[in-house]
C-alpha cells in the first residue's frame, strides 16, 4: 500500500498527527506507543511479538489460540 503515493501521503499525515498527540513509534511518547506492523518482504511474527513484549512487558501472542470451531454445550 505504501507504493501508492496517495496512501503513503495520508499515512505520513496520520503519523504526524499521532506524534503531535504524544504517541510515537519506537520507545513511545508521553501519551503512548504507536505500533506499526510492516509486512513488506513477508510477515515477521517473531519481530512483532518482540515489539509487543517490549511494549507491554508480558508475553503476548498474535497467533490465534485455535483455528478449530468450538461448539457450545447444549
Q: Could you state, in order of their start, the residue ranges of all structural domains in the chain?
A: 5-56
Cα separation, 11 vs 17, whole angstroms: 10
What confidence tens digit (pLDDT) does each residue in 28-52 have?
Answer: 899 988 888 777 777 777 887 787 7
Query: pTM above 0.85?
Result: no
Of 10 and 36, the structure prediction assigns the larger pLDDT to 10
Q: What angle do CA 25, 61, 3 make, to 5 degrees?
A: 45
Give the per-residue pLDDT at 63: 59
Give the per-residue pLDDT at 18: 95
End-to-end, the C-alpha distance of the chain in Å comes to: 46
Give the per-residue pLDDT at 71: 58
- What φ, ψ does residue 29 adopt, rounded to 5°? -120, -170
Amino acid at each position: 500500500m505504501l507504493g501508492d503515493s496517495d496512501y503513503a501521503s495520508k499515512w505520513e499525515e496520520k503519523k504526524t498527527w499521532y506524534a503531535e498527540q504524544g504517541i510515537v513509534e519506537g520507545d513511545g511518547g508521553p501519551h503512548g506507543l504507536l505500533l506499526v506492523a510492516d509486512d513488506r518482504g513477508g510477515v515477521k511474527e517473531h519481530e512483532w511479538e518482540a515489539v509487543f513484549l517490549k511494549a507491554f512487558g508480558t508475553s503476548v501472542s498474535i497467533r490465534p489460540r485455535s483455528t478449530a470451531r468450538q461448539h457450545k454445550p447444549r
